[in-house]
């Protein structure tokens, strides 16, 4: 089928599409399916001998190291449970730096002595694996002679069953490290950073009189945005297939204020999808609440309940896989790209985070007694210091070729990392800042801990959607992460920079006390110092405004517009010192991450550039030439019978064909470049490939507005966004 026929057929397919009957019967109450496929605490309690259960719980809830002696017993119970659930295989699931999820499946069954088969699953098989996996990015951490990578069970993230019509698989969340113990994945540093943050938070809690605090953990809840389009369109869009975004496409005649249209046309089909997706997520123990998002046509959002950050990160990956799978079962494609359609709002993934534990609760919850206030203010001040000092690292943690299309584009927070506190909290910190000054004259009046401190806001009343880092009542919301990325990277950064800030605070308070200061005075002193030194990062105004760009610069805040600007932040001496001091990354590891990020950036743009070239040369140019011929024939035949022929259309199309050809030739030339280093390759991708692609696209998109509709080969924005 030729291109344009394929496009028209795709539209027919969508029109005739019938939603499948829901996979679940209406009697499947959410309460009954929730966690059905998870090796939960309750399942363990039922199946494990009491001492073994207690030992595993000590690891999960109190961060005690796993006792190897119990591994065999746990493995055996897990195997029996999995076999009852129809599992034939098990897989160590890990999160390599491609950003995707990797699984290596092995069968439970091994040949027995009697010629039959026996199900084998020893403790060692549960806790450790050795996938070959040598082709995952490692940034030079693994020479070929030491190419082995190891996976190790993350006991704190529950195992689960992944269903498939052809057999179920027991999935075990794991870390992935090199033979020498270097991190090759997203989970290892996340666990390390949790530990670093927990150690410092514990010191602070002890200073506040909690003599034996539980281990503090960070919690994350991610709001995932995505687009849904009919799959029939995807098959005739090589760009969507290759790179997840459209590399061509003129804006629809009506923009994204098309809500009314879109509301009328789609709900049943999308709702059916959402219900099925939600059930699947529930089974996997992922507490999701779905809802519809009105910003762009075809765009939706799903926000699971927050969980401890490593579990949330695993669940987030699983959520993306599940949405994609269920969408396909419904004849749709779920697009997680940050900017699938130019000119239409893109997608982000807001990462909400807080920290706390079972005994103290949420440490970012402003209490209503002065004592709690002081403790809350200290944790809040830690966030302020952390974000101010390491805003560049936060920016780097969300840097990718795909997110570059969205950040700073007046639909997402700017590339400047600032904090929104809201009026009330800002006022409290203003008082703290002044408190020091008055306290010397009028001793004791505004000192923290005295009851002059106002009751803090518990209701996220005022909201600011333009801030990249906003306090929202009981948590902070990091709004810059991209919809496609794992939340692990941002959480590693948040945990680590908080570890540094809490360390600093604890050390200062301890020093003041050692010098004979009252605890309250010591707390006031450090809060005052932090707000004085780091208050510049607090900004409650409009982050999208031009004025903020200017003001931020005056305040000395970084404005790292692109990935190429942001990534070097990973390898500054301060960043290397930070990560190695808190044991999150060794210098070698952080260098490898930097290289991998550059490599991924260059690869992703390289694929797009080659796709652009191919589509322009083999799909768009031929359509334009056909139309040119049609116009030329028309002009010639009119002239042949002595009629006046207007050749303006022909000239317009011909001129654009010239531009398109020039663009194609230019891109081809730029693509021929060979780089010596990964830095050079990334820089070439950003500085040479992207502009060359833009020239091709400009001519092609203009042609789309001229070429006869029945000749145009690619599904249009209007069709993809509004026909569902
Ligand atoms: P909004 O759109 O107003 O930002 P949503 O309800 O869409 O809010 O999403 C809020 C997200 O924040 C959810 O994922 C939720 O689980 C998460 N969240 C709520 N409280 C906390 C908390 N204390 N710590 C971390 N995440 C939280
Ligand atoms: Mg939000």
52-100 pLDDT, tens digit each = 999 999 888 877 888 888 888 999 999 999 999 999 999 999 998 887 8
Vertex 491 angle, CA 385 and 406, to 5°: 90
Residue nearest to atom 11 of ligand 1 (CA): 221
Cα 465 to middle of ligand 2, angstroms: 8
Structure tokens at 597: 């990020």
394, 497 Cβ separation under 8 angstroms: yes
> Domains along the chain?
34-185 (3.10.20.70), 194-600 (3.30.590.10)
Q: Does position 666 have pLDDT exceeding 80, yes or no?
A: yes
For residue 352, give the ligand nearest its CA: 1
Range 380-386 average pLDDT? 97
Beta carbon of 305 within 6 Å of any ligand 1 atom:
yes
The pTM of this model reads 0.92
Q: What would the pLDDT profile of 44-57 be if each residue is shown by its tens digit?
A: 999 999 999 999 99
Least confident span in 224-238, 430-444, 678-692:
430-444
Beta carbon of 471 within 6 Å of any ligand 1 atom:
no
Give the separation between CA 143 and CA 151, rounded to whole angstroms. Answer: 18
Question: To which H or E segment does residue 289 belong?
Answer: strand 288-292
Beta carbon of 241 within 6 Å of any ligand 1 atom:
no
| Residue to substitute in 352, 463, 483, 494 for testing ligand 1 pocket (most ligand atoms within 8 angstroms of CB) | 352
Beta carbon of 475 within 6 Å of any ligand 1 atom:
yes
Give the separation between CA 480 and CA 393, rounded to whole angstroms. Answer: 12
Range 155-174 average pLDDT? 91
Structure tokens at 557: 């805040």
Confidence of residue 443 (pLDDT cuts 50, 70, 90): very low
Quickly tell me which residue has 């402003």 as its tokens.
366
Eight-class DSSP state of 70: G
pLDDT attached to residue 179: 79
Cα 295 to middle of ligand 1, angstroms: 19
Give the separation between CA 675 and CA 233, rounded to whole angstroms. Answer: 36
Confidence of residue 355 (pLDDT cuts 50, 70, 90): very high
Cα 617 to middle of ligand 2, angstroms: 42
Beta carbon of 306 within 6 Å of any ligand 1 atom:
yes
pLDDT attached to residue 24: 44
Confidence of residue 271 (pLDDT cuts 50, 70, 90): confident
Cα 247 to middle of ligand 2, angstroms: 29
pLDDT attached to residue 267: 58
pLDDT attached to residue 78: 94
Mean pLDDT (the chain) is: 87
Give the separation between CA 342 and CA 347, rounded to whole angstroms. Answer: 12
Confidence of residue 116 (pLDDT cuts 50, 70, 90): low
Beta carbon of 291 within 6 Å of any ligand 1 atom:
no
| Residue to substitute in 216, 218, 219, 221 for testing ligand 1 pocket (most ligand atoms within 8 angstroms of CB) | 221
Q: What would the pLDDT profile of 197-239 be if each residue is shown by its tens digit?
A: 999 999 999 999 998 888 899 999 999 999 999 999 999 999 9
Cα 358 to middle of ligand 1, angstroms: 19
Cα 478 to middle of ligand 2, angstroms: 9
pLDDT attached to residue 350: 95
Residue nearest to atom 5 of ligand 1 (CA): 303
Q: What would the pLDDT profile of 507-550 be if each residue is shown by its tens digit?
A: 999 999 999 999 988 998 999 999 999 999 999 998 888 899 99
Q: Does position 501 have pLDDT exceeding 50, yes or no?
A: yes
Confidence of residue 360 (pLDDT cuts 50, 70, 90): confident
Q: Does position 710 have pLDDT exceeding 70, yes or no?
A: yes
Range 122-145 average pLDDT? 73
pLDDT attached to residue 455: 57
| Residue to substitute in 286, 413, 475 for testing ligand 1 pocket (most ligand atoms within 8 angstroms of CB) | 475
Q: Does position 261 have pLDDT exceeding 50, yes or no?
A: no
Beta carbon of 362 within 6 Å of any ligand 1 atom:
yes
pLDDT attached to residue 439: 35
Residue 177 β-bridge partners: 150, 183
Q: What would the pLDDT profile of 558-580 be if each residue is shown by its tens digit?
A: 999 999 999 999 999 999 999 99
Cα 374 to middle of ligand 2, angstroms: 27
Q: Does position 585 have pLDDT exceeding 60, yes or no?
A: yes
**Nearest partner of 322 among 274, 368, 370, judged by Cα:** 274
**Between 268 and 306, residue with greater pLDDT:** 306
3-state class (DSSP) for residue 509: helix
């Amino acid at each position: 089928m030729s291109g344009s026929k394929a496009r028209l057929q795709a539209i027919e397919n969508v029109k005739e599409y019938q939603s499948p009957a829901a996979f679940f019967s209406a009697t499947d109450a959410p309460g009954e399916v929730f966690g059905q496929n998870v090796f939960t605490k309750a399942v363990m309690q039922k199946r494990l001998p009491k001492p073994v259960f207690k030992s595993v719980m000590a690891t999960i809830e109190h961060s005690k190291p796993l006792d190897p002696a119990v591994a065999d017993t746990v493995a055996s119970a897990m195997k029996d449970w999995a076999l009852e659930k129809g599992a034939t295989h098990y897989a160590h699931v890990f999160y390599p730096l491609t950003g995707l999820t990797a699984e290596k499946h092995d069968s439970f069954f091994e040949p027995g002595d009697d010629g039959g088969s026996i199900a084998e699953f020893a403790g060692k098989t549960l806790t450790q694996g050795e996938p070959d996996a040598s082709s995952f990015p490692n940034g030079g951490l693994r020479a070929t002679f030491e190419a082995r990578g190891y996976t190790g069970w993350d006991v704190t993230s529950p195992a689960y069953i992944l269903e498939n019509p052809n057999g179920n698989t027991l999935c075990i969340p794991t870390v992935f490290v090199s033979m020498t113990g270097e991190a090759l994945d997203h989970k290892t540093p996340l666990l390390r950073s949790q530990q670093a943050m927990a150690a410092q938070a514990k010191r602070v809690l002890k200073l506040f009189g909690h003599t034996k605090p539980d281990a503090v953990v960070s919690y994350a809840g991610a709001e995932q945005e995505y687009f849904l389009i009919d799959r029939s369109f995807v098959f005739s869009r090589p760009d969507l297939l290759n790179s997840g975004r459209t590399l061509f496409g003129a804006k629809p005649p009506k923009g994204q204020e098309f809500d009314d249209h879109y509301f009328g046309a789609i709900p049943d089909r999308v709702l059916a999808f959402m219900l099925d997706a939600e059930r699947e997520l529930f089974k996997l123990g992922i507490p999701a609440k779905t809802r519809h998002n009105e910003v762009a046509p075809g765009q939706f959002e799903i926000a699971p309940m927050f969980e401890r950050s490593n579990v949330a990160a695993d669940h987030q990956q699983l959520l993306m896989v599940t949405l994609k799978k269920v969408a396909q079962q419904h004849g749709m494609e779920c697009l997680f790209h940050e900017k699938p359609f130019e000119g239409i709002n893109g997608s982000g993934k807001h990462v909400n985070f807080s920290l706390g534990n079972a005994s103290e609760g949420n440490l970012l919850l402003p209490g209503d007694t002065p004592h709690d206030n002081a403790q809350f203010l200290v944790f809040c001040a830690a966030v302020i210091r952390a974000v101010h000092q390491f805003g560049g690292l936060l920016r780097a943690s969300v840097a990718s070729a795909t997110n570059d299309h969205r950040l700073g584009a007046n639909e997402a927070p700017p590339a400047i990392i600032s904090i929104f506190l809201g009026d009330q909290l800002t006022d409290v910190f203003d008082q703290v800042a002044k408190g020091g000054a008055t306290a010397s004259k009028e001793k004791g009046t505004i000192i923290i801990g005295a009851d002059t401190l106002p009751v803090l806001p518990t209701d996220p009343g005022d909201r600011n959607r333009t801030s990249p880092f906003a306090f929202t009542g009981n948590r902070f919301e990091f709004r810059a992460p991209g919809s496609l990325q794992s939340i692990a990277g941002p959480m590693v950064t948040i945990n680590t920079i908080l570890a540094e800030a809490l360390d600093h605070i604890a050390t200062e308070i301890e020093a003041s006390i050692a010098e004979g200061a009252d605890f309250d005075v010591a707390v006031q002193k450090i809060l005052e110092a932090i707000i004085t030194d780091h208050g510049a990062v607090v900004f409650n105004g409009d982050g999208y405004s031009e004025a903020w760009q200017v003001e931020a610069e005056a305040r000395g805040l970084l404005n790292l517009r692109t990935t190429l600007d942001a990534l070097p932040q990973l390898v500054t001496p301060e960043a290397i010192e930070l990560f190695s001091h808190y044991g999150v990354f060794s210098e070698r590891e952080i260098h490898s991450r930097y290289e991998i990020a550059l490599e991924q950036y260059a690869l992703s743009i390289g694929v797009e550039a080659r796709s652009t070239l191919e589509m322009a040369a083999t799909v768009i140019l031929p359509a334009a030439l056909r139309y040119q011929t049609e116009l030329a024939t028309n002009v010639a035949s009119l002239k042949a019978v002595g009629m006046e022929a207007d050749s303006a259309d022909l000239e317009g199309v011909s001129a654009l064909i010239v531009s398109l050809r020039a663009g194609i030739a230019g891109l081809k030339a730029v693509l021929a470049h060979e780089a010596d280093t990964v830095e050079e390759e990334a820089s070439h991708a950003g500085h040479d490939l992207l502009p060359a692609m833009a020239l091709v696209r400009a001519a092609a998109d203009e042609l789309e507005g001229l070429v006869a509709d029945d000749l145009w080969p690619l599904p249009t924005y209007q069709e993809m966004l509004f026909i569902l």
